[in-house]
Homo-oligomer: A and B are copies of this chain.
């Protein structure tokens, strides 16, 4: 799984990745005002790479800036998350449809099957802890990335890689039992998807994928609450 960044290992890229993580995991609370100077001090670099990183994150819409007044971390409302997931579902659906219409090579089919096998093995262990969910996330990303590549539309891949919620099904915030249930549902979806793609059923694949991609939506409210309480917690920590 190669990184989204095309450039080498310079400071700007590491700062960008680091900031993205800090935002997505809630270390930088939503709405937090961030300054070039502050982040530069925090990350031990000069303002220049921070400046470039903030510009990049602004294009990803993770931070928002006002002229001469710096940046603040984007607030994700429940509506924002619904919008983002809706778009993601549409794009993933398009990828599934294209893949089905194009047909699979033997190698491509094998790769998808291996994802399904791996997830099956993971579920069979019965584990439902944080490491298991991280493993699931990796497998899930592999599956979806493969389909996008099979679809063969470079622009589509580009947009999907830039989707704010591309990486994580965010299982770690769910009660463990419910998380395991998500794994099982995902597995069922993946199997049906592969079936549809193998049979060249483009429309079926598209809508199966849409539903599959919307699976996290029902959990969005919980995620929303989680982030907010998390944010409040950290704010209090700082205040105290």
What's the dominant secondary structure at chain A's contact region? helix
Q: Which 9 A-B pairs rank lowest in CB-CB distance, beginning with the nearest?
A: A8-B67, A83-B155, A83-B153, A87-B155, A84-B155, A59-B59, A90-B94, A7-B67, A83-B154
CA distance A187 to B24 in the complex (A): 44
**Which of B6, B52, B61, B153 contacts A87 (CB under 8 A)?**
B153
A132 at the interface (CB under 8 A from B): no
> How many copies of this chain sit in the oligomeric assembly?
2
A86 interfacial by beta-carbon distance below 8 Å: yes
Kindly identify, within residues 74 to 88 of chain A, every residue whose CB is under 8 Å from any CB belonging to chain B: 79-80, 83-84, 86-87
Known contacts A90-B91, A91-B90, A159-B159; A6 and B64 CB within 8 A of each other: yes
Residues of A within 8 A of B (CB): 6-8, 10, 51-52, 55-56, 59, 61, 64-68, 79-80, 83-84, 86-87, 90-91, 94, 153-156, 158-159, 162
